Chain A
Amino acid sequence: MSDILTVADLTLGFRTEAGPARVLDRVRLSVRPGEIVGLVGESGCGKTTLARAILGTLPAEATQVGGGRIELAGSDMLGPGGGRGVRGRAVTFIPQDPFASFNPLFRIGTQIMDLMRWNSPRRDPAVRTGWYSPARRRADRAAAIAMLEAVQLPQPARILRKYPHELSGGQRQRVMIAMALLPEPRLVIADEPTTALDVTVQAQILGLLRRLAVDRGVAVLFTTHDLGAAWEICDRVVVMYAGQTAEIAPREGFFAAPRHPYTHLLLRSLPEEGRDPVGIPGSVPSPLRPPPGCRFHPRCPRASQVCTEQAPPLLGEGHLTACHHPVGGALGDTLDG
């Protein structure tokens, strides 16, 4: 089956006051239909930028695309009018901050029904006006109520009449999930959907998201800095470091046998029984002046001359790694080898 989302060698930056910032560097990524992919990386590694680039919502005047392409459900998202007609239909979005992402002055129902008016799966795409037939409105409203029930919100009809500030963070994120699924998309992009929530609510929301997506066969691209969350819900994991794709692997292989030294260190930085977590020395480089070659080399215990000169290509079948000296490769089995 062909991929629902393909990001190929995407290089992208922003014009800033301090000069051009190269935020994404030859990023590769693909999502197959119905698959849940975790996009993992530290804050500032470019995962939110990548999510916004896929949605086509980066500020046009400040963004410079250096190369590559983004293809989503057969549409070229970087082309002219990129993503119009795709956004909100084939691909939807769950934001990081359910508190600020609703308009505070309108009822939940108004915001949902405005979405449905334009992006409901029952809308005839040939009709370009905002005509909303009473029959379709009734059907859309029923679908909205059913979806609010599916995200386990009690008394959905009452939720529709409420203002965003009358809901808790967890409730708001459930509404966001419902809104993301209502247009019956093929892909949902969830940008750190649980970061703003209480820890106890996080697991519920993640479980709900996975279950609903699997039931409906919807693919999810899920960005997170939380490896535990990725373990919980993902089929495949993509690791980014400083705007470069470091490793792509199925969940099992990723957690059992990570190959990129960065991933290795990342997993070792998790608290675990019987040993203290180990931090990664150094810090993420600025996209204004990224190190040449592999961007991880200043912090990498395995770095050699070639790492400072050449960016490693992403190689492998199924489990891909962008590293000149992958763990389990020629230098031996362990990182400290």
Chain B
Amino acid sequence: MVWLNIVLNRLVWLVPTLLGLLAIVFVLSRVVPIDPARLAAGDNASPEQVAAVRHSLGFDRPLPEQFLRYVAAVARGDFGTSLFTQQPIADDLAARLPATLELTLVAIVLAAAIGIPLGVVCGLRRNSWLDHVLRVVTVSGLAVASFWFAMQLQFLFSMKLAWLPLSGQIEGFPPEHVTGLMIVDALLTGDTEALRSAVRHIVLPAITLALPAAATVVRFTRNGVIGVISSPSVAYQTAMGYPRRLIVWKYVLRMAVTATVTQLGLIFGILLAGAVVVETVFDWPGIGAYAVRSILQSDYNAIMGFTLWAGAIFVAVNLLVDLLQAAIDPRGAR
């Protein structure tokens, strides 16, 4: 019942949110001083040819009409055609989604698996040397530019030590297509060669993405634990002789991670919308790299499609976070 309410509530807001997003992106894309018709027509096109292209693309219509046409097309599932790949944007995005999804999932799992235990320990041993060390590390983790960190990793582990590949998603033949996620497909088809290659390729980009995410997780978990550890329920359980580890890792943890879960959801959304820098540095064939290329080429149908995708992801992630919160905290029934 609670879940249904949350879902309905979010769905009601979905339409105006996306419409607003579309409007903003549309206006921005039309005020930039680039003529898409000229771009599409090519460098050697005559003014007449450019005008013809402009007419065929509908750019000679009034702006409101263009916007309405665009919205109507989107409503039909038509995000337009990339000016460069000549493919429907939806197909381009769909083709690149698995790579981004795989990288994001690995990075998030890594960030949670490292960040939550460290955050709990820091919260319990507040102001211990470990807490101080991790504070420095987490602040650095958030402050360090990811392209710089990525390049340091590449320099050390790929070029100097030659332990891991420099870039790309896989070497040799990819595994048979099942889900689109390389590691999962390799596991499902028992392709150990591809599995090894896929895992080796994902390590560095996943670490690069996981570093700031883990830093955020550590900080939120630590603060959550500090807030909960002095609560009356912990004092009660201590007085009643519940074992310390049970109190901490079951009762305190669940209360402490509510804020962390929200943060993880947001990070998940950000990464899923395309880890722009990391995908570019590691030449990862995902949505982020696609977005960068579209921007550099002024392929604004693609830019708008990507933006819409990112917005939809955020709405979906918010819904997911709300549902998770409801699962964690039964008082959400209010």
Q: Does A14 contact B (CB under 8 A)?
A: no
Which of B231, B235, B251 interacts with A57 by CB under 8 Å?
B235
Q: Is there contact, CB below 8 Å, between A118 and B239?
A: no
B331 with A92: CB separation less than 8 A: no
When the two chains form their complex, are residues A57 and B241 in contact, meaning their CB atoms are under 8 A apart? Answer: no
From 73 to 102 in chain A, residues with beta carbon under 8 angstroms from any chain B beta carbon are 84-89, 92-93, 95, 97, 100-102
* Contact B330–A163 (Cβ < 8 Å): yes
**A87–B232 touching, CB < 8 Å:** no
In the complex, are the beta carbons of B233 and A55 less than 8 A apart?
A: no
User: Are B232 and A118 neighbours in the complex by a CB distance under 8 Å?
Assistant: no
21 contacts between A and B (CB under 8 A): A55-B239, A57-B235, A84-B241, A87-B240, A93-B239, A93-B240, A95-B232, A95-B236, A97-B232, A100-B233, A101-B235, A102-B233, A102-B236, A103-B255, A104-B329, A104-B330, A105-B330, A114-B246, A114-B250, A130-B246, A163-B330
Query: Which residues of A177-225 have CB atoms within 8 Å of chain B's CB atoms?
Result: 179-180, 183, 189
Q: When chains A and B are docked, how far (Å) is the Cα of A115 from the Cα of B242?
A: 6
Q: How far is the CB of B248 from chain A (nearest CB, A)?
A: 12
Min distance, Cβ A77 to any Cβ of chain B, angstroms: 12
B254 within 8 A of A: yes
B331 touches A57 (CB 8 A): no
Q: In the bound complex, what is the Cα–Cα distance between A105 and B246 (angstroms)?
A: 14
Nearest chain B CB to A71 CB, angstrom units: 18
Query: Shortest CB–CB separation between residue B100 and chain A, in angstroms?
Result: 33
How many B residues, CB 8 Å from partner?
21
In contact, A118 and B246 (Cβ under 8 angstroms):
yes
Q: Which of A211-253 contact B (CB under 8 A)?
A: none
Contact with B along A49-62 (1 / 0, CB 8 A): 00010010100000
Contact residues in A for B172 (Cβ distance below 8 Å): none
Q: 8 closest A-B pairs (Cβ-Cβ)?
A: A88-B241, A87-B241, A100-B232, A101-B236, A93-B239, A88-B240, A103-B233, A163-B330
Question: Would you call A106 an interface residue if the criterion is a C-beta within 8 Å of the partner chain's C-beta atoms?
Answer: yes
List chain A residues, Cβ under 8 A from B235: 57, 95, 101
Question: How far apart are A165's CB and chain B's nearest CB, in angstroms?
Answer: 5
Residues of A within 8 A of B237 (CB): 103
Task: State whether the Cβ of B243 lies closer than 8 Å to any Cβ in chain A.
Answer: yes
Tell me if B328 counts as interface (CB < 8 A to partner A): yes
Q: Does B238 contact A (CB under 8 A)?
A: yes
Structural contact, B240 and A119, CB atoms closer than 8 A: yes
- Report A-chain residues with C-beta under 8 Å of the C-beta of B242: 88, 114-115, 118-119
| A84 to chain B: closest residue by CB | B241
Within 8 A of A (CB), among B223-280: 231-233, 235-243, 246, 250-251, 254-255
Expressed in whole angstroms, the minimum distance between the Cβ of A131 and any Cβ of chain B is: 13
Cα separation A101 to B237 with both chains bound (whole Å): 8
A57 and B255 contact, Cβ closer than 8 Å, known pairs A100-B233, A118-B246:
no
In angstroms, Cα B151 to Cα A215, docked, is 74
Residue of A whose beta carbon sits closest to that of B231 = A100
Q: Cβ of A179 and Cβ of B240 under 8 Å apart?
A: yes
Q: Which residues of A contact B231 (CB under 8 A)?
A: 100
CB of A254, distance to nearest CB on chain B (Å) = 28
Residue from the set B232, B239, B242, B255 with the largest chain A CB neighbour count within 10 Å:
B239
- Interface hits, A139-194 → B, CB 8 Å: 163, 165, 179-180, 183, 189
How many angstroms from the CA of A118 to the CA of B254 in the assembled complex?
A: 20
B331 near A163: Cβ-Cβ < 8 Å: yes
Binary per-residue interface labels of chain B (316-331) against chain A in the complex, 1 for a CB within 8 Å, 0 otherwise: 0000000000001111
Residues of B within 8 Å of A57, CB to CB, are: 235, 238-239
Given contacts A105-B328, A163-B331, A165-B330, contact A118 B243 (CB under 8 A): yes
CB distance from A80 to the nearest CB of B (A): 16
In angstroms, Cα B190 to Cα A194, docked, is: 64
- The chain A residue sitting closest to B251, CB to CB, is A103
Specify which chain B residues have a CB less than 8 angstroms from the CB of A103 in the assembled complex: 233, 237, 251, 254-255
Chain A residue, CB-CB nearest to B255:
A105
Instruction: Name the B residues within 8 Å of A106 (CB-CB).
Output: 251, 254
Give the distance to chain A from B235, nearest Cβ to Cβ, in Å: 6
What residue in chain B is nearest A119 (Cβ atoms)?
B241
Q: How far is the CB of A85 from chain B (nearest CB, A)?
A: 8
Q: Which residues of A contact B255 (CB under 8 A)?
A: 103-105
